[in-house]
Amino acid sequence: MKNIIITSSDEKYGKFLINHWLKSLKENVDLSNVDVLVLDYGLTKKQRLAILKQKVPIKKCKRDGHVVTIRYRDIYNFLSSHKYDQVLLIDSGDLIFQADISKMFSENKEFLRGFCEKITFLNLNTMYPKGFFSSDTKKKMAALLKDKQVINGGVIIGPQEKIRKLSKEVYSIVKNKKIFGPDQAAINYVLYREGFKKLRPDYNMVLTFSGVKFKVKKGKFYFENGKLIPVVHNAGGSGFFRPISKFGYGPKFNKRKKAIYHVMGGLAKTKTKILKN
CB-neighbour burial class of residue 252 (10 A; exposed 0-12, middle 13-18, buried 19+): exposed
CA separation for the pair 133, 101 (Å, rounded): 35
Q: What is the pLDDT of residue 276?
A: 40
Instruction: Read off the pLDDT of each residue in 252-269 and give the average, rounded to a whole number.
Output: 64
CB-neighbour burial class of residue 108 (10 A; exposed 0-12, middle 13-18, buried 19+): middle
248 C-beta neighbours (distance < 10 Å), count:
17
- For the cut 90, the answer to whether the pLDDT of residue 131 exceeds it is no
- For the cut 80, the answer to whether the pLDDT of residue 263 exceeds it is no
CB half-sphere exposure, 88, CA atoms < 13 A: 27
Per-residue confidence band for 271, with pLDDT thresholds at 50, 70 and 90: very low
Of 204-208, 219-223, 266-270, minimum mean pLDDT range: 266-270
- For the cut 50, the answer to whether the pLDDT of residue 273 exceeds it is no
Give the rounded distance of the alpha carbon of 209 from its chain centre.
14
Mean pLDDT of the chain: 91
- For the cut 70, the answer to whether the pLDDT of residue 154 exceeds it is yes
Please work out, in degrees rounded to the nearest 5, the angle formed at the alpha carbon of residue 160 by the alpha carbons of 72 and 82: 85
The 10 Å CB-count burial string (b at 16+, else e) for 121-147 is bbebeebbeeebbeeebbeebbeebee
Radius of gyration of the chain (CA): 18
Which contacts (CB < 8 Å, 24+ apart) does range 200-203 have?
Answer: 200/115, 201/115, 201/229, 202/101, 202/229, 202/230, 202/231, 203/101, 203/104, 203/115, 203/155, 203/230, 203/231
CA separation for the pair 125, 201 (Å, rounded): 30
Predicted structure pTM score: 0.92
Per-residue confidence band for 191, with pLDDT thresholds at 50, 70 and 90: very high
Q: What is the pLDDT of residue 240?
A: 57
Per-residue confidence band for 168, with pLDDT thresholds at 50, 70 and 90: very high
Q: What is the pLDDT of residue 274?
A: 38
- For the cut 90, the answer to whether the pLDDT of residue 39 exceeds it is yes
Instruction: Read off the pLDDT of each residue in 170-176 and give the average, rounded to a whole number.
Output: 96
- For the cut 60, the answer to whether the pLDDT of residue 261 exceeds it is no
Contacts of 138 (CB under 8 A, 6+ apart): 124, 125, 128, 132
CATH architecture of 3-117+150-201: Alpha-Beta Complex (3.90)
- CATH 3.90.550.10 in the chain, residues? 3-117+150-201
Q: What is the pLDDT of residue 105?
A: 98
